Structure 1
Amino acid sequence: MTHNESVRISAANRRARLAGVMAAASVLITGCVSTVDGQAVRGHGEGPLNVPPLDEAKLDEILLTIGEINGILGSTQMKVTSDLDDMTDHSEDVSDPDCLGAVYGAEAPVYEGTDWTAVRDQVAREPDEDNDHWVEQTAVLYPAEQNARDFFDRSLATWQDCANDAIVVGEGEYLWQLDDVRVGDTLITQMTTQEGADGWGCQHALSWVSNVTVEAWACGYDITDEAAAIADAMVENAAK
């Protein structure tokens, strides 16, 4: 076995253990998106669509199909491995609980005080232990549009506070480096990389439309704007 093969296998084992830690609903992730000063950028965080208030039944329609997820990630083998309709709490698993919202999705402490009323959270990946991709998509419903906008603004502040920091997840095994936050009208993204994982990294994207926020994580060895693309597609689904 070559050194590179050994490193890759070791990285795969770490990812497999990390998937176990986060299997309940979430994962460490984040990403990058471009900004146009003061301009809407449909497809990457354009200004809010004129969408009437949504109800809980719409949340399932907002999530992308597994075929769409595979298409965006350039895979054919990804399958849904977790499908939840409630929040979780991993605040004790991170070295800085104030950054919980930057590294986990659908976390009860992060959404506390937002008056959220329903959530859909779904994880997908290839079935093999040495999976090439990992994706999470989350849609959260609120009583009114202002709640969604407030959560977006609060998340932006949190992500920016945690940018350029390293967060430990689990019992000290997993160190994630958070990059700068990129901001659009209604889309924020951040890139995160796992130390010692042979280049494994994730993009995290958050957007809002009407009374819903959507989040996406896209992880792999060559991630660019996949999470942003998922979030954009979720917003378009909400507008249908």
Structure 2
Amino acid sequence: MSGGHNAWVSLTDHPVTVLANRCVGAVAAVLVASVLLTGCVHSVQGTATRQSPGQGVPVDVPPLDEADLDAVLLTIGELNGIMGATQMKVTSELDQMTDHSAKVSDPDCLGAVYGAEEPVYAGTGWTAVRDQVAREPTDDNDHWVEQTAVLYPAAENAQEFFDKSAAIWADCANNAIGVGDGDYLWALEDLQMDDTMITQTANQEGADGWGCQHAVTLVANLTVEAWACGYRITDEAAEIATAMIDNVPRK
């Protein structure tokens, strides 16, 4: 299969397995409305740097626990609205990490091309995860979304993961990463970031414009990770991630 649009046909619906072939290899795993990012966002090459602090992340959030995670995920109606879709359905739900490091040509870039990966979160002390994939139920699905919420013992752990992700994504920018048996190549673009959000776009080579945006943001002792994939992707993953943070219980 030469294009990402049909690359899902023979795959399971596990987020990492699916995205490995269609969406930059993310467990993937994006803008009908304007992106909700604030602050000065800029391209980063090589080493991740920051400009002015973001303004969209709430500061009045106490430490969260596992019971809060399900409330963070967006509904299928919200996901369809952001993606400009009407037929997406939830096709996968997980409460554990996976490991697809053997499926990428550069394991150091695993965090830039897959989501909810055990090796990527190793050492952060994470305590719970919710991972969900949504797409059209047909083989030729035009949209693919993954949303992941990860809980840590303290805010410092969430910040550590955010900073580590920024450095990895920046190092992997402007590279083509092979996924699976090398049949799929994903071209990673420059990292975009401010103090509270990092995003990166990737396009599958030879797939007629199929691409994905990947986003990570954080609040308190929580990080959220989003993938949004399709043929005309802009900032939908950033919008999904921001909306997930808006769902965080204030208690």
TM-score, length-scaled by structure 2 = 0.85
| Counterpart in the other structure of 1:38 | 52
Q: Percent identity?
A: 63
- Match of 1:120, as an amino acid? R
Unaligned runs of 5+ in 1: 1-6
Query: What is the DSSP-based 3-state SS (H/G/I as helix, E as strand, rest coil) of the residue aligned with 1:16?
Result: coil
Inter-partner Cα distance in structure 1 for 2:79 and 2:115: 17
| Counterpart in the other structure of 2:15 | 25
CA offset at residue 11 of structure 1?
4.8
Inter-partner Cα distance in structure 1 for 2:238 and 2:186: 20
Inter-partner Cα distance in structure 2 for 1:98 and 1:112: 13
Equivalences for residues 163-202 of structure 1 within 5 A: 163-202=173-212
CA offset at residue 128 of structure 1?
1.1
Number of equivalent positions: 226
Unaligned runs of 5+ in 2: 20-24, 41-50
TM-score, length-scaled by structure 1 = 0.88
Instruction: Report whether the alignment pairs 1:14 with 2:28.
Output: no
CA RMSD of aligned residues (A): 2.0
| Counterpart in the other structure of 2:90 | 80
Instruction: Report whether the alignment pairs 1:207 with 2:197.
Output: no
CA offset at residue 13 of structure 1?
2.4
Query: What is the DSSP-based 3-state SS (H/G/I as helix, E as strand, rest coil) of the residue aligned with 2:105?
Result: coil
Inter-partner Cα distance in structure 1 for 2:195 and 2:59: 11
Which of 152, 156, 177 pairs up with 2:162?
152
Query: What is the DSSP-based 3-state SS (H/G/I as helix, E as strand, rest coil) of the residue aligned with 1:238?
Result: coil
Report the CA distance shift for 1:77/1:109 in structure 2 as closer, same or farther (over 3 A).
Answer: same
Is contact 2:72-2:247 (8 Å) kept? yes
Is contact 2:38-2:54 (8 Å) kept? no
| Counterpart in the other structure of 1:63 | 73
- Match of 1:166, as an amino acid? A
CA offset at residue 185 of structure 1?
1.7
